Amino acid sequence: MTGFDRRKALTLGAGALGALALGVSPAQAASWQLRWSPTPAKDGLNAFEGLEDDRSHSHPGVKHIYTEGDHWRFDMHTQDRDGSDRQRNECKGMRGDGKTYPILKDTTWRIQYQAFWPSELTATTSFTHIAQMKVSDVGPPLFTLTPRAKGPKGGVLTIDGDSGGGRDLADYAPLQNKWIDVLFELKASHSGYLRVQIKNGSTVVHDSRKNADLWRDKNYLKPKWGVYRSIKSSGLKNCYQLIRNYQSYQLV
């Protein structure tokens, strides 16, 4: 055996021993598998498990969630209501090829997409959620993506919630009126974690990971997107959010 062959054998052996020490054979190494990648033209609103579009019928005859070219559009008008003190026009869940993709216990997912937040979608003193992770019929969201009116630069994009939250991600104004890459990576477990990455073009403006309890012992996790905001903030405007290039991967 040549010196190169001996070094190669030692390297391969060390890798196999390391995998065995972790209880995983080399052939069983986990990888990210694409589960959900809808397009507006093919899937339309069937890309989602459900819609919450003006449930209070406050704006009759108006559709607030629809496709437009290469993206989905979520409109919000100042007159829209979802109850007496808030507004909600959101989609929820992931669906494709006639089936739903639930985020089940102890599974790990990476969900990424591009979002467009116009100037009219303002950072507010009360809540304005532009993405959420929810469990049906179980209390508040696990986490939310929220532009908040704080600081001197037109607000801060934050991750809030009772799990994995409490992080300022980036100044909000520089992320508006352009396509921004958003990535959530999470493990749905009591001993889970949440990673959040925000990219402005080729620049990573935030990338962090935090341990979090991301399981509620009931149902399953489902992402939500759109506009869900309190009417208690001043200066609310007619606004919208655009989203394109949804992709969800499961670690298997």
The model's pLDDT over 18-63, given as tens digits with 9 standing for 90+, comes to 544 555 555 578 999 999 999 999 999 999 999 999 999 999 999 9
Low-confidence ranges of the chain (pLDDT < 70): 1-27, 164-165
CB burial of 186-203 (b: ≥16 within 10 Å; e: otherwise) equals bbbeeebbbebbbbeeee
Tell me the whole-structure pTM to 2 decimals.
0.87
Q: What is the pLDDT of residue 235?
A: 85
161 and 176 belong to one structural domain: yes
In the block, residue with structure tokens 């992320």: 175
Within 10 A of 23 (CB to CB), how many other CB atoms are there?
Answer: 7
pLDDT for 4 equals: 42
> Looking at the structure, do residues 7 and 90 belong to the same domain, yes or no?
no
pLDDT given for residue 152 in this prediction: 76
Rounded to whole angstroms, the Cα distance separating 98 from 38 reads 12
How far out from the chain centre does Cα 131 lie? 6
98 lies in the same domain as 154: yes
- Say whether both 2 and 102 belong to one domain: no
Number of domains the chain contains:
2
Q: Determine the 3-state secondary structure of 99 from DSSP.
A: strand
49 and 61 in a single domain? The answer is yes
pLDDT of residue 9: 47
Query: Looking at the structure, do residues 132 and 243 belong to the same domain, yes or no?
Result: yes
- Give pLDDT, residue 23: 54
Provide the domain limits for residue 54: 31-251
